[in-house]
């Protein structure tokens, strides 16, 4: 770029396009329970928002300096859609809620399989810690809670509300 203004204009245009892409999703609460049918763009825009907010937080050292925007092509249920046989976790009717979902690569999705959130963290912490920011936040949360806690309003629901709020704020400021 010859001038900083050119860079800012391009960024403003890209953010405008991103806000338009997710506007319909955040305005329709029925979309918040689409499970694997949730558009990938929603997760990618959300990761951008979370990353940007983290980078702009001048009061603390950014937490996601190692985050890499990369091709993630599979929507994962954090609490499994079909728990593995012989586990102590039960099926759950809110499993398709946006708060229980993240985007990951297909390779990692097959590793996660139908494991509980705790088991995913125990067995695949390094993948979680290099994954999408939404996934990292869920991983950080489950480290201090139980699988059962995740299914409560303080777990997935609070996480979902926080993520939707970030998306809404972004759309409101860019449209």
- Tokens 């009717």 — which residue? 93
Query: In the prediction, which pLDDT does 1 show?
Result: 60
* Confidence class for position 57, pLDDT limits 50, 70, 90: confident
Q: How far apart are CA 88 and CA 2, in angstroms?
A: 60
pLDDT tens digit sequence for 147-166: 999 998 889 999 999 999 99
Q: How far is CA 115 from the centre of its chain?
A: 18
Residue 29 has pLDDT above 70, yes or no: yes
* Confidence class for position 63, pLDDT limits 50, 70, 90: confident
Nearest to 175 by CA among 90, 108, 167: 167
Residue 87 has pLDDT above 80, yes or no: no
What pTM was computed for the model? 0.92
Query: In the prediction, which pLDDT does 60 show?
Result: 65
State the CB neighbour count (10 A cutoff) for residue 110.
10
Query: In the prediction, which pLDDT does 110 show?
Result: 87
Most confident of 83-87, 107-111, 113-117, 133-137: 133-137
| DSSP secondary structure letter of residue 156 | I
Query: In the prediction, which pLDDT does 59 show?
Result: 64
Residue 125 has pLDDT above 80, yes or no: yes
């Amino acid at each position: 770029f010859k001038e900083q203004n050119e860079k800012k204009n391009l960024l403003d245009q890209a953010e405008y396009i991103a806000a338009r892409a997710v506007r319909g999703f955040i305005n329709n609460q029925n979309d918040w329970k689409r499970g694997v049918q949730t558009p990938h763009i929603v997760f990618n825009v959300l990761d951008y928002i979370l990353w940007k907010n983290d980078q702009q937080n001048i009061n603390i050292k950014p937490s996601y300096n190692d985050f890499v925007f990369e091709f993630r092509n599979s929507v994962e249920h954090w609490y499994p859609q079909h728990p593995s046989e012989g586990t102590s976790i039960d099926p759950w009717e809110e499993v398709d809620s946006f708060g229980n979902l993240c985007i990951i690569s297909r390779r990692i999705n097959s590793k996660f399989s139908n494991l509980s959130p705790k088991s995913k963290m125990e067995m695949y912490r390094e993948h979680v810690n290099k994954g999408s920011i939404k996934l990292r936040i869920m991983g950080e949360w489950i480290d201090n809670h139980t699988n059962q806690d995740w299914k409560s309003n303080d777990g997935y629901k609070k996480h979902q509300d926080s993520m939707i709020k970030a998306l809404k704020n972004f759309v409101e400021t860019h449209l």
